Amino acid sequence: MTRVGILGASGYTGAELLRLCAQHPDFEVAYATGDTQAGVRAASLYPSLAAKFPDLVFEAFDPARAEGLDVVFLGLPHEASMALAPQLVGSVGCIVDLSAAYRLKDASLYPGWYGFEHDQPAMLAEAVYGLPELHRAALKGARLVATPGCHVTAATLALAPFVRAGLVQTSGIVVNSITGISGAGRGLKHSSLFCSADEDVQAYGLLDHRHTPEIEQEVGAGVLFTPHLAPMNRGILATCYAKPAADMSTESLLATMSAAYAGEPFVVVSETSPSTKAVMGSNAAHLTVRFDERTRTVISICAIDNLAKGASGGAIQAANVALGLPETAGLAAVGMYP
């Protein structure tokens, strides 16, 4: 068995990691921390976990408890992950960080976008970006994995095939992305309250959302990114617009996208417009693309579950690759419907 630690297991991504670990044939959760919930049974906070983890108690962090584990997932704030990861490298098999602490390869971007200096150039250089569809070869044997941002996963899967093929211009790309409330985390926020979020859709992070440089890094193009909060628990729907750089049609774009993701276990390319409910609870990404002759615009759309493929599911997929396990282990390709 693969012995697993989850640091920050009491948050939404931590609870999702526990859910997915429960159905993983090779994972055994040996250690789960939740400093604000230390001493609390996981099943008390999340009754959905009771059947598999009836006696699991969230612990306070102790470095000695993590030593020797095969994989440790970090579901912590960015700076907390950056402080902790160097202590764990070498004492655990693989670290999979769900924060943004190691996502951006250019350290100079961190002060402006995240408000802190990144002082670990060697760790930043070693970290492998955890999107197997683009970085599978580099993930094999990785000691430190940076799990992508949820919006970034959807936008990158939607745009990368066309940028890499030189089919769209690399400036003026627009990404409008809708996310569910769980993307804001378990912490109490006014925008997450039922009476604030219900019957409301709101754009946020205008012009300065932190996922912008990450999308640009992975797509390889300049992007105007605007996220929107919608009254649903889970899901991301990213609608991306780009101008063509070559002759094309909807049929040729669908063929390019299908070829780019041929054989990918969690990517579905079809003519059907993706929906968030179709991917709910799964590690799947549903994609389609159109070319509008009238406005000469490429429209590429991706739907994912923000907590699964967009966070914890993507983290486990990347960990499977890094550890040499079957990539699909513990992960569903079929969503829950209705």
d(CA 136, CA 129): 9
For 136, residues 6+ apart whose C-beta sits below 8 A from its C-beta are 321
Strand 202-203 to 223-229 pairing: antiparallel
Same domain, 155 and 251: yes
Same domain, 141 and 54: yes
Q: Is residue 247 part of a domain?
A: yes
Which pLDDT belongs to residue 211? 98
Token pair for 192: 């997450």
d(CA 281, CA 337): 9
Tally the domains of the chain. Answer: 2
Q: Is residue 268 part of a domain?
A: yes
**Is 94 assigned a catalytic role?**
no
Which pLDDT belongs to residue 192? 82
**Reading across the β-sheet that carries 223-229, which strands appear in turn?**
202-203, 223-229, 173-179, 236-242, 297-304, 285-292, 267-269
Question: What string of pLDDT tens digits covers the 338 residues of the chain?
Answer: 999 999 999 999 999 999 999 999 999 999 999 988 999 999 999 999 999 999 999 999 998 999 999 999 999 999 999 999 999 999 999 999 999 999 999 999 999 999 999 999 999 999 999 999 999 999 999 999 999 999 999 999 999 999 999 999 999 999 999 999 988 877 778 878 888 888 899 999 999 999 999 999 999 999 999 999 999 999 999 999 999 999 999 999 999 999 999 999 999 999 999 999 999 999 999 999 999 999 999 999 999 999 999 999 999 999 999 999 999 999 999 999 98
Same domain, 215 and 131: no
Looking at the chain, how many residues does it have?
338
For 216, residues 6+ apart whose C-beta sits below 8 A from its C-beta are 222, 223
Q: For the domain that residue 154 is a member of, what is the CATH number? A: 3.30.360.10
Q: Is residue 335 part of a domain?
A: no
d(CA 79, CA 193): 26
For 165, residues 6+ apart whose C-beta sits below 8 A from its C-beta are 256, 260
Instruction: Quickly count: other Cβ atoms within 10 Å of residue 194's Cβ.
Output: 8
Q: Is residue 252 part of a domain?
A: yes
Q: Is residue 117 part of a domain?
A: yes
Same domain, 130 and 237: no
Same domain, 129 and 262: no
Same domain, 74 and 163: no
Q: Is residue 332 part of a domain?
A: no
Same domain, 110 and 177: no
Which pLDDT belongs to residue 107? 97
d(CA 136, CA 50): 34
Q: Is residue 328 part of a domain?
A: no
Same domain, 15 and 98: yes
Same domain, 271 and 315: no
3-class DSSP assignment, residue 36:
helix
Which pLDDT belongs to residue 183? 84
d(CA 316, CA 151): 18
Token pair for 281: 């609870």
Question: What distances in angstroms separate CA 271 from CA 258, 277, 296, 300, one per listed residue?
Answer: 11, 17, 19, 11
Name the active-site residue from 150, 195, 240, 302: 150
- State which H helix or E strand residue 31 sits in: strand 27-33
Same domain, 300 and 175: yes
Which pLDDT belongs to residue 185? 79
Same domain, 294 and 163: yes
Which pLDDT belongs to residue 186? 75
Q: Could you report how far apart the first and last alpha carbons of the chain are, in Å?
A: 34
Instruction: Tell me the residue range of the domain where 49 lies.
Output: 2-147+309-323
Q: Is residue 329 part of a domain?
A: no
Q: Which residues pair with 59 in a beta bridge?
A: 33
d(CA 15, CA 73): 12
Strand 128-129 to 202-203 pairing: unpaired
Which pLDDT belongs to residue 187? 76
Same domain, 94 and 160: no
d(CA 118, CA 105): 10
Q: For the domain that residue 105 is a member of, what is the CATH number? A: 3.40.50.720
